Amino acid sequence: MIAACGLDCSTCPGYRCRTGTDPCLSRMVAADWSADLHRPIKPEEAYCNGCSWTGPGRLSPYCEACDIRQCVYTKGFSTCAECSAFAGCTILQAFAVDNPSAMATLQNLRLR
């Protein structure tokens, strides 16, 4: 599952927690997210159904607040790769600095 930004949701620990079958992973993800976000996240809240999820359930706190996700879905796209402003997008370019593999994924999607 490729997120709007090009990240692979299946590699996210929060996405792997969505089944609720690994309480140790849920506790670890909750602790990590709590530290990163400077607010408490309970283990039962430490899961994500993936960036493209629109049904009942949950997105990670990162996906909920993601400017890229908001932009992509407001425009009716699945990923940034579909956008004509792809090459000049300052939000995406800033994200790509720390996530070069996501940018490579989006560029490969553009070639299809």
Integer-rounded Cα Rg, in Å, for the chain is: 15
**5 by DSSP, 3-state: which?**
coil
Contact of 6 with 103, CB cutoff 8 Å? yes
* Tens-digit pLDDT string for the chain (112 aa): 899 999 999 999 999 998 888 889 999 999 999 999 999 999 988 999 998 888 777 889 888 889 999 999 999 999 999 999 999 999 999 999 999 999 999 999 998 8
Return d(Cα 83, Cα 71) in angstroms, integer.
Answer: 10
One-letter identity of residue 58: R
The secondary structure of the chain in percent helix, strand, coil, rounded to multiples of 5, reads 60, 0, 40
pTM given for the model: 0.85
